[in-house]
Each structure stands twice: as structure tokens, then as C-alpha cells.
Chains A and B, each alone.
Chain A
């Protein structure tokens, strides 16, 4: 799809509308905690009214009246609840490229929502004002699944994106909203750190249509020190998604001195090739200082180019550079004839030549989900 004047104006208008979505909804939604509170799907009851969360690998053991690490789940009298079902902390209409999904309905808009809370605490988080707070600490709106799906449809978005914070911690809402979306002809795309247990992940894959995973680094040390989590469950999740046929893409945020060595890039690329295959898009994104990592500079562009070169040399088909508007590595190139088949500038698709999922020049199949 070429971004003509008409489409540009449409996208701009939608984004402007989206900025006002939450305030419009918020008027009657703040005071009633009960409507956001739904029993969690994955947990165990323990003696003395304790609960053990089984949603993410952290497996928080939570006392009565206490919350898990995510801050969005609470033990009330020995029953574990999510406090964020339909509790929208932010909503926007974004290009799907912002997630980024480059091989999933390129050029389309995604009705993007998030609740408060996250199951990790990345020192570089750019959305920490919603991800690292408790639900009651941010303004929120009540947006039940059917209403969310209807709004996405009204605004002409073929997808709902669960993004910005961490959809794993609002799992129950994602599942219900995805089902409501499908009933209304709307797809669901999840943007996650992938820090989730296998059982809930496998069930999630039956409800949603695409998952983008932020693989924060390729070392346990980094996950331990910078993310406050573990890498292995994330890798396991990526493999499980692939086995279930879930369309998935990977983003790797490159941070100077922390996860930018040649060895790490190479190990990552080899792992992707061996475990996921050559067709999984891999995005090397540029870091900007934020939250607890303001002491490091933005990623030099040549570092990103080095990462891409290493991944390319391992044979991966779709390696991108992100957060560098205008860089030629934003484009999709046919892995066979090497011609540009989707051209992008920033978050905008300027030319999409893919036809029926194939390169128009050499008829090579291009991995992805292409027609809305």
C-alpha cells in the first residue's frame, strides 16, 4: 500500500482521536474497583491463605492482601485476582509498524491498549510510568472486551494490539478481548517480553493471531541484572510459539556496553536460525536513555549495522534496524532476488509491492501475514 495523501490524513486523524480515547472513557470508570477484579486463571492455593501465581516463571508466593511482583494481581483471602481486567491505562491508534510488526498486515493500524503493571523491571523501560506502577496509581478507563472490539472496528483498525506495558499480566483481559475481537472480525496482536509459563502461553496462542517478543539480550546475566528476570523461559516461549504456528517477530533493543558485543549478536542469530528458522523477522532497535538507564548514550547506528551484518551473515532472511527513521534496513527485501518489496520511512509504509504473499519480481514466498 502506498501512503497517499488520503491515507496519511486518515492515519493522522485516527491518531489524534486516539489521544482522547482514555479521557473520554474515564469519567465514570475510576471509583469502582470491583469491575476490574476477576479471578486469575493460573495460580495455586496454598496453606494459610497464600497463593502461588502460575502465570509467569517468577511464581510469586503471595500472602493474603499482598500482590505479586507485577503489582496487578492480588491475594484476597486466599483467592488470587487480576485487578486489571478491562482497566485500560492508555489507548492509542498506532501503525502496526510501531509495535513493530513488519510482516503482519503492514501499513495497517492497530487499536493499541495497555493496563498498568509488568512482570519484569527493565532498567531501560520507556513506558515505566504505566508498566512500573500499580493499577490504582494511574488514571484508568473501563473498557470491556466487546466495547474494545467495537471501538477497534469503528476506528477502522483490523487489529487490537496489547502493548506498551506487559500483556502477560493482563492475560485474562487479552484472552477475552481477543475472543470478542474475533467475533467482530478484529485480529489480536500481542507485544510482550515473553516471560510466561508454558501452559498459559499455549492457551494464549489459541486466542491471538500474532506475538512480538522483546528478547532483551542473549545472556542470563543481562536478564538478571537489567531486566530482573530470566532469559531461558523467554527462549522456551519463542520456541513454543513457533511450534504452535504463531506468527512471531523478535525485537532486540541494543544498548551500548550492555548487550552489543559481536559474540552476543552471533549467538543470538545462530540460536534463532537453529530454533526458529530463517524466516522469523529480527529487529535490532536503537536504544534511547530512559528510566534507570539515563547514563548511557543512544545506540550508535554503526552498532546496529554491525548487529544486522552479523545476523545477515548467519543467513537470517529478515533482519531490520529500528528507531532509525529513513535507514534502508527498515525496508523488507526479498531473500531471493534482494529487491525491496516493502519500503518504509519510520513507522510509515511508503510502498508495499508484495502480492499474495510473494515477491512480485521473483515470486519468492515471503513469510508473514499479508492481507487484511
Chain B
């Protein structure tokens, strides 16, 4: 019998422990792992790939309490699955998901039994992917925008969100690993795990009103997204505390970290606090003062959505 994640009673129980909100175990905590390395960046905007891989390994091993990174990745994916990597490429090479991080994830996925052909790097547009340093490809590890894969013809609806979903999500991928960037957003406050899923729909421009609330939460409730996104690895190598989502180098700082969680709400809440802390250090107003507090994070945690927790008492923040 193949004892992969979720196939045995034991695995099921373990899975429930790392995704407590899904099991309704209100007393359990959502784990958010922050792995940092002060030497991660060798120079401005240049990453040490080897150190980045080790940082990723530390984060995954800590998150899944595993002795080896491969064992941890096997908790995320099963051999034979098609795995999508949702990157965030709107900021070009300045502050998009780093190519080196994606390469590190691809390396570990292959070691965990996912062949190259079953890995798909994707975002909204080919143009955006290319501007962030990715190469559009339909062979080996695929890399394509939704403008190539297309959108479904039938609306997917939840709450105030009614969208056509990317076929990469609905038809190509069995699982999605979300790879957002830790940054400020001039309209909705911050953009990390939850907001990155706007890249899976055809009409993100419609959902920035009212500070993105409840749209960000509603989009994450669309069944294909909710069911397929398994893990969030937030690229916080360089973070941005103002002026986002465009790359504004004067408001970035080398956080030199990765933030890993399976609970996108806990991850976003944690990342938001990191940004607020930096803003405070810089003598800047809070996002609430600027009327762009990311209230969608609380909405995502409410009883109607239950996408995770934004209660700091229920977030286990682990720094490694």
C-alpha cells in the first residue's frame, strides 16, 4: 500500500493537525514558519541559490516536523500529480517571486517524485512571467500565463466574486503551491498569499474596490482554489513596506526570509504585522490610518469563510 499523505488514517490525522481550521479543531494552532538567513543576498537583489535552498529546506522541515526536506515535500505532493507554482510577477525583476526560489522548489518537487513535465509555473500573463525572469515554455517544466492556457467559460461564484478561473488551475493542476511576495499594496493594504490568487481569475480589476473586501476572501473560496492550493511559501527575501504592488526600491528592505504556512490567513496576518513593524520603524502611518487596512484577512477568517485564522493566539509563529 502506498502510504502517501492523506491516504492512511495516520496521515489523515497528521494532515488535520497541520490544517486545524479545516478540521474544525479550534484549539489547535496554525503554524507559520519564518526561515531567515542574513547572508541570503550576496548583493542588491542577488540571491545565493545554495543558501536559499537550505533556507527553504529548514522552513519545510520545520513546518512538517520532518528530518529531511524530501520527506517534507512528500507531505505536500504525491508522485504523479501535476503541481502548479503560482508566482507573482507583476513587479518585474525588481520584486517578483524570485526565479531562484522557484528553481529550488522545482528541484525538491522532482526529488519528491514529481517529474519535470508535471510542474507548471504560472501567473496571469506571459509578459509578466518574462519580465520577472522566467522563460515561457511548453516542454519540461512548463511556464505559461493564463493568456496562453485560457479561462473557463463557466463562472465560478462565491459571495461577491463571480469569475472565470484559469484553466491551469481547473484542468491542468492537481495541486497548487502558492509563491507570493511579501509586500505592501496601495489599494488593499498588503498582498501575500490570499491576494496572489487574483492571478487565477479573469477579472481581478473588479475586486480591488472597498480595500478588496470581501473579494479577496471570496475568490479564495472558489472551489478549485480552495481545494487545490496546498502550501504557501511567501518570498520575503526582499520585502516592500510602501508603494506596492509596483517595485519601489526606496521602500524595500532585505528581510532575507521565507514564510511558510498552509493557512493563508495566518500567513497573511503574520506578514502584515511584519510590514506594519517596518512601517513603524520608518515612522510611517499604519495601514489603518491610511484607510487601507487589509480587512479582507479578517473576512477570510470569519465563520462564513473559515479559510484560516487571524487570531494571533491561534497562530504558532516559528522562527528558524
Chain B residues whose CB sits within 8 angstroms of the CB of A49 once the complex forms? 246
Do B157 and A292 touch (CB < 8 A)? Answer: yes
Partner of B162, one of A71, A137, A292: A292
Q: What are 10 contact pairs spanning A and B, CB under 8 A?
A: A48-B243, A61-B187, A65-B246, A66-B90, A69-B209, A70-B205, A71-B206, A133-B164, A133-B202, A134-B202
Do B205 and A137 touch (CB < 8 A)? Answer: no
Interface residues of B in 229-284 (CB under 8 A from A): 243, 245-246, 248
Chain A residues whose CB sits within 8 angstroms of the CB of B134 once the complex forms? none
Q: What's the interface size class on A, roughly?
A: 20 to 34
B186 close to chain A: CB less than 8 A: yes
Residues of A within 8 A of B (CB): 48-50, 61, 63-71, 121, 123, 132-134, 136-137, 228, 291-292
Q: What CA separation (Å) do A69 and B155 show in the bound complex?
A: 19
Do A291 and B90 touch (CB < 8 A)? Answer: no
Chain B residues whose CB sits within 8 angstroms of the CB of A65 once the complex forms? 90, 92, 128, 246
B187 to chain A, nearest CB (A): 8
Partner of B205, one of A67, A123, A291, A292: A67
Chain A residues whose CB sits within 8 angstroms of the CB of B202 once the complex forms? 133-134, 137
Interface residues of B in 186-208 (CB under 8 A from A): 186-187, 202-203, 205-206, 208
Known contacts A48-B243, A63-B245, A66-B90; is-contact A136 B147 (Cβ 8 Å): yes
Q: What CA separation (Å) do A136 and B162 show in the bound complex?
A: 19
Closest to B243 in A: A48
Closest to A121 in B: B206
Interface residues of B in 156-213 (CB under 8 A from A): 157, 162, 164, 186-187, 202-203, 205-206, 208-209
Chain A residues whose CB sits within 8 angstroms of the CB of B209 once the complex forms? 69, 228
Do B246 and A137 touch (CB < 8 A)? Answer: no
Chain B residues whose CB sits within 8 angstroms of the CB of A48 once the complex forms? 243, 246, 248
Closest to B124 in A: A134
Do A228 and B147 touch (CB < 8 A)? Answer: no
Do A71 and B246 touch (CB < 8 A)? Answer: no
B73 close to chain A: CB less than 8 A: no
Do A71 and B248 touch (CB < 8 A)? Answer: no
A55 to chain B, nearest CB (A): 14
Q: Which 9 A-B pairs have the closest CB atoms?
A: A63-B246, A71-B205, A292-B162, A64-B246, A121-B206, A67-B205, A69-B205, A132-B203, A137-B202
